[in-house]
Structure 1
Amino acid sequence: MKIQIRLVLILFNSCLCLYGQENPRLDSLLNVLKTQKDDTLKVLTLEELFLEEFYTDPTKAKKYIEEGLELSKKLNFPNGEGFANYYLGAGYYQTIGKNDSARYYINEALDIFKRIKHEEYIIKMTNALGVVEYTSGNYQKAIEYYNIGINYSRKNRHWDNLANRIGNKSLAYIKKGDYNLGVKYSIESLKLFDSLNSKSNTLQLKIHTATAAVRVGYAEMGLKNYEKALEYFERALGIYDGIDDIVHMGHTYSDIGNVNLELGNYDSAIENYMKALDIAKKKKIPIMRGHVLINLGKTYIKKGDYEKALYILKEGLPFNEQFGTKDNLSLNFNQLGNAYLKNNDENQALVYYNKSIALADSINAAEILSDVSLNRAELYYDIRQYRNAYLDQKRYQFLNDSIFNSKKSQQIEELRTIYDTEKKEQQIALQEKEITVLEQQAEISALQKILLGIGLLLSLIGIYAIRQKMKRNMLEKEKVDAELEFKKKELTTHALNLARKNETLENLKSKAQELKDKENMGRGYNQLIRTINFDLQDDNNWENFSRYFEEVHKDFNSNVKTKYPQVTSNELRLLALLKMNLSSKAIANILNISPEGIKKARYRLRKKLDLSTEDSLQDLVLSL
């Protein structure tokens, strides 16, 4: 799921408010500008022109805001100067990916607002710096900036700013892979906007509410709750449609297309992508156009229409080369490789896979690199370059393991963050209760104050102690359950990866043996076969598996050895794999024996365990 561009646009929406403003048309603004003198009103008009032109022609928009900056300096107009720097940094330079320049101009704006002691704008600039860190991949630093704004907004009861900054924080957690926290904070933001809408149903609040719904949708997609994600995206689409916000409608159609692609609803995905594409063309938004064309091409590959996919992906390539991010361009290359491979043009497929890998490697995009390495390994296998296929398969396995371990660390960190957050919320709740008690005590007589205070304090201590104990127990149970569930998934993934690796190596070994016999190139192929045999017999793989197995199924091995001391180490391995309920094919691949060999091993094991024909070996293993 590649949603980087859309997330950045959401951050701009909450930070710059580029959409949803009731601006005059561009030609009207230009006519007004011609009649204005060099005063503060002209500065404001130049800001409006910047916002109006920003997404269609960023270079022209930049000229307007630079003119506004120079005029503000000439007029000694600090607000104008501050916001001109802000728009240059958080708008223009951040969008074209020059984050160092973005930081410079935002810090210039921050210094101006500090000089005139405008606290609200100081916090706004701090939030903008959080967005820069977010787009730079420094998600924890972004969260720290957002928390400054959250504390200020909560203290001063600026509820719309609070909701937006909590929403930005949720996006940072989504990008960190902490999807549960992403859901938690995005829903908190959405509830705040819903509450504000019930009191004041302004255009800007509607836009922010829709944006908050989109954030929840992304978090749910991260958790693979696609149906829930679809509900939130469709809610956002309804709001955007109601206020005729065409640009955000386009992005949301693309989001709905992504969900349908994940669900396998290819026709629905294409229908929504085409709506997004029409809007991108009409509104002249090349970034959106390039991004949508990648996913549209991918969908046609899934449908089996490879010629159509190739045409679409070629159409998207110039937009992603000129306007898109490097990860989007790498994805475009990868999908072009897939389309050419499906069209039986292995040479062109290899060209684009090589481009995708080189670009992904340059930006450390591990997930893209892993995916393309596997695709190229399969291509090398098809064209009989078995050594290259083996090396790409090894790289894929290494990257896949690294990503898996990274996600494990993220999930453990997420559990810790949730636990710490719960503790802070409990402390806040206790402080609020204590304040309420003190206020009540101030209204009664001294004697009543003492008596009531003692009673309430004892009650609070007792209730709080019980509730704290219950929450601690519940949190501890949830933490243990989450870790156990994660370990189970980790064990299954490790087992299946082991099976897949052995199956691939066996296939490579067979092909190498065939070519050795056919092509009389024994020496080179013997070396390859020896390398493969070494990997097949590598006990480190089994030791890692055993370690994961023992963490999930504690004391299983010792119980088996105590009850059935006659069981050999190989039979113990078979029992462990049966305990995981794996298929006979998977077990055969992991143990590197034939399916017939598995049948014989099960038969010998039944005899050794003294099981009758009516007794189930699987039931016995599951009971151990």
Structure 2
Amino acid sequence: MQKRNQHNTLLYSFLLVVMLCFSARAQTATYCDSLIKKAKEATHAKDYVKSLELLATARDLAEKNRWNKQLFWSINYAGINYIYMMDYGEALNYCLEAYNLSVKELGPEFEMIMLNNIAIIYTADKNYKKAKEYYQKAYDTAKEEKFKSLGIYLINLGNMENILNNPKQAKLYMQEAMPNLKKHWPRSIVAAEMIVAEADLLLGNTALARQSATELLKQKADVAYNDIAIPLSEIIAKSYLKEGDFANASATVNELLNASSNLETKRRLYELLADIYSKSGAITDALRFKDSIIVADTQLHEIKNGRLFENNRVKFEMQNYKNQMAAEEELIALERKIVYSLLAVIIAAVTVTILILRQKKLIAERNQRITSLELEKEKRDNLILEKQYRENETTSQLEQERLKNEIEARNRKLSARALYLSDRNQLIEDIVTSLAKKPKLSKDLTLSSQIKTLKEHLRTDGEWDNFITHFEEVNHGFLMRLKNLHPTLTQNDTRFLAYIYMNLSVKEIASILNITIEACRKRKDRMAAKMELPENLALYDYISSI
């Protein structure tokens, strides 16, 4: 009788502990979801520090309890916070982490979400080829799994094809998207039709593009829902520009400029106005808006620096928050240890009593079972180590890709700077040449002084020195390796090969060096001959492998 009572006491204690554990698990899962919801609300309120703190807590709970969906959303929304803060490198790290989790644990629906988010990051960073690659993956997944979001991903792909100047392909994507949009996303049809109008503009159908954009602007509710009013008006302005109707083009852009408060949008409109005035012969106005572009770039740079400081402050506060969490976890662990110790003492006392009454056969069976469990644990540990090795290898590959993307991004900035300086110098040089051809004007001392001032704005070889300095910072050791392999190369040869290494087109290089495109092509052939390259080996392929 006494033996049965002891056995029942142990059984009831065990059942009570199990019930408490299941209750705590259910409450904790609900609590984790509520943390993620509050974090989303904080993000919408632009309180990124609070949002990241809530997501860090939710992630900790999800990792401890192996709740893959909660873990996915906590990582994903952390990445979205960094997108809003324009820290694209940090955002990409979070997105890649969530993507790996979706591939391993959650399936194609979650994988597709992260592919789209990664594409958004590359689009924001103006790495359009990479963005298209990930939009294509998201579209392929949606099409294979027959998800209703297929039309949205087709819109993204169509927009990317227009950016990459492939309007025919963009229109094909929109034809494919329309049935899906009409069925599932009717309010997004105007976005698809805008992409078709932009494709028509690129194809030279200016009147059709302008008519389509004008009609779409009348659908005010859907236009506002998709936030495409300004892009539609830009299509109208560009159609006038292509037709040589500079008055209507400038009037449309100026109206947009007065209505817009976004600095990046204004910069884009300044570029369009500078192009309009330059082509219409209004050189003074063109220069004025070129200067406005420089001012906008400076302001954007200052804003980005401010964002960088804010990001660092957020990271600092997040680290403090993690330290506080670690301290609290230590305290909880200590309290848990005391509870477990008391529970262990009780269980040990009951167990010892039962073991004394058990027969030696049961002891032998228990020892055999323990040995079996130890072997199983060792096998499981080996599997975990193997999985960790594979994950580390994947992480290393992702880091290499991130570094490669960073170098490509910096080279794009260098090429953009070089092209801008070339355009600016060419504009000033054209003005000086035009004025110099008028003998009567040379007698005007005031005008001669102004021409001299314009000449002083032309850049010298010092710009090349600055370019080389920045180029070496991004592509460390490339020029030295090139000179070691081909010591006969001149400074001009090195400069030309640097532009080739940055993957600039023949047209872009010709613009920078102020030579014809044909002369640029011939110079590429001379460089290949001078470096004694095989006929079947392209110059870019060779120097990119150095």
TM-score normalised by the shorter chain: which range applies? 0.5 to 0.7
CA drift of 1:344 comes to 3.6
**Equivalent-residue separation in structure 1 for 2:526 and 2:177 (angstroms):** 57
The aligned counterpart of 2:197 is 297
CA drift of 1:377 comes to 1.8
Out of 206, 210, 214, which is 1:314 matched to?
214
What letter matches 1:131 in structure 2? Answer: K
The aligned counterpart of 1:428 is none
CA contact (8 A) 1:484 1:552 kept: no
**CA gap 1:191/1:363 in 2 versus in 1, 3 angstroms:** farther
Out of 142, 147, 150, which is 1:239 matched to?
147
**Equivalent-residue separation in structure 2 for 1:217 and 1:481 (angstroms):** 18
**Equivalent-residue separation in structure 2 for 1:476 and 1:183 (angstroms):** 12
Q: Deviations over 1:114-169 (max 9, x none)?
A: xxx98666555543343344445666764544444444455566665555555545
**Equivalent-residue separation in structure 2 for 1:481 and 1:156 (angstroms):** 31
Q: Deviations over 1:496-540 (max 9, x none)?
A: 641453145314522553266469767569636743652422724
Out of 263, 273, 296, which is 1:376 matched to?
273
**Equivalent-residue separation in structure 1 for 2:209 and 2:504 (angstroms):** 37
* Residues 202-281 of structure 1 mapped to structure 2, 5 A cutoff: 213-220=112-119, 222=122, 223-225=131-133, 226-235=135-144, 238-240=146-148, 251=152, 254-255=155-156, 257-258=158-159, 261=162, 264=167, 265-272=169-176, 274-275=178-179, 278=182
Q: Deviations over 1:263-314 (max 9, x none)?
A: 5413323425654775699x6x4xx455445434323322332223223322
The answer to whether the aligner puts 1:182 opposite 2:91 as a matched pair is no
CA contact (8 A) 1:280 1:289 kept: no
Q: Deviations over 1:353-402 (max 9, x none)?
A: 23444555x234x3x44433322221121122223323434555776796
Unmatched 5+ stretches in structure 1: 1-116, 195-208, 241-247, 418-442
**Equivalent-residue separation in structure 1 for 2:435 and 2:276 (angstroms):** 18
The aligned counterpart of 1:537 is 460
CA drift of 1:231 comes to 0.7
**CA gap 1:471/1:276 in 2 versus in 1, 3 angstroms:** closer
**Equivalent-residue separation in structure 1 for 2:425 and 2:304 (angstroms):** 26
**CA gap 1:147/1:270 in 2 versus in 1, 3 angstroms:** same
Out of 331, 338, 351, which is 2:231 matched to?
331
**CA gap 1:349/1:326 in 2 versus in 1, 3 angstroms:** farther
**Equivalent-residue separation in structure 2 for 1:166 and 1:472 (angstroms):** 19
**Equivalent-residue separation in structure 1 for 2:525 and 2:223 (angstroms):** 63
**Equivalent-residue separation in structure 2 for 1:380 and 1:543 (angstroms):** 30
**Equivalent-residue separation in structure 2 for 1:274 and 1:488 (angstroms):** 35
**Equivalent-residue separation in structure 1 for 2:99 and 2:196 (angstroms):** 28
**Equivalent-residue separation in structure 2 for 1:274 and 1:467 (angstroms):** 44
Mean CA deviation greater in 592-601 or 131-140: 592-601
What letter matches 1:267 in structure 2? Answer: K
**CA gap 1:330/1:516 in 2 versus in 1, 3 angstroms:** farther
**CA gap 1:179/1:580 in 2 versus in 1, 3 angstroms:** closer
Q: Deviations over 1:211-233 (max 9, x none)?
A: 76355345346432143232134
**Equivalent-residue separation in structure 2 for 1:580 and 1:292 (angstroms):** 34
The aligned counterpart of 1:514 is 434
CA contact (8 A) 1:337 1:352 kept: yes
What letter matches 1:300 in structure 2? Answer: D
**CA gap 1:471/1:374 in 2 versus in 1, 3 angstroms:** same
The answer to whether the aligner puts 1:386 opposite 2:283 as a matched pair is yes
**CA gap 1:280/1:227 in 2 versus in 1, 3 angstroms:** closer
CA contact (8 A) 1:376 1:392 kept: yes
* Residues 546-557 of structure 1 mapped to structure 2, 5 A cutoff: 546-549=469-472, 551-554=474-477, 556-557=479-480
SS in 2 for 1:351: helix
CA contact (8 A) 2:161 2:170 kept: yes
The answer to whether the aligner puts 1:346 opposite 2:246 as a matched pair is yes
The answer to whether the aligner puts 1:363 opposite 2:267 as a matched pair is no
**Equivalent-residue separation in structure 1 for 2:192 and 2:439 (angstroms):** 47
The answer to whether the aligner puts 1:505 opposite 2:428 as a matched pair is no
What letter matches 1:494 in structure 2? Answer: L
**CA gap 1:349/1:179 in 2 versus in 1, 3 angstroms:** farther
**Equivalent-residue separation in structure 1 for 2:35 and 2:441 (angstroms):** 66
Give me the TM-score of the superposition, normalised by structure 2.
0.58
**CA gap 1:134/1:215 in 2 versus in 1, 3 angstroms:** farther
**CA gap 1:540/1:475 in 2 versus in 1, 3 angstroms:** farther
| Residue identity (%) | 16
Q: Which has the higher contact order (CA 8 A, sep 6+)?
A: 2
**CA gap 1:121/1:299 in 2 versus in 1, 3 angstroms:** farther
SS in 1 for 2:457: helix
SS in 2 for 1:313: helix
The answer to whether the aligner puts 1:130 opposite 2:53 as a matched pair is no
**Equivalent-residue separation in structure 1 for 2:486 and 2:222 (angstroms):** 68
Q: Deviations over 1:1-20 (max 9, x none)?
A: xxxxxxxxxxxxxxxxxxxx
**CA gap 1:472/1:393 in 2 versus in 1, 3 angstroms:** farther
**Equivalent-residue separation in structure 2 for 1:256 and 1:582 (angstroms):** 24
SS in 2 for 1:324: helix
CA contact (8 A) 2:428 2:458 kept: no
What letter matches 1:351 in structure 2? Answer: A
SS in 2 for 1:304: coil
What letter matches 1:347 in structure 2? Answer: A
**Equivalent-residue separation in structure 2 for 1:469 and 1:580 (angstroms):** 35
CA contact (8 A) 1:331 1:356 kept: no
**Equivalent-residue separation in structure 1 for 2:212 and 2:82 (angstroms):** 33
**CA gap 1:557/1:170 in 2 versus in 1, 3 angstroms:** closer
**CA gap 1:214/1:594 in 2 versus in 1, 3 angstroms:** closer
CA contact (8 A) 2:35 2:55 kept: yes
**CA gap 1:228/1:485 in 2 versus in 1, 3 angstroms:** closer
What letter matches 2:275 in structure 1? Answer: E
CA contact (8 A) 1:337 1:350 kept: yes
CA RMSD of aligned residues (A): 5.8
CA contact (8 A) 2:115 2:137 kept: no
**Equivalent-residue separation in structure 2 for 1:152 and 1:319 (angstroms):** 46
Unmatched 5+ stretches in structure 2: 1-25, 123-130, 316-364
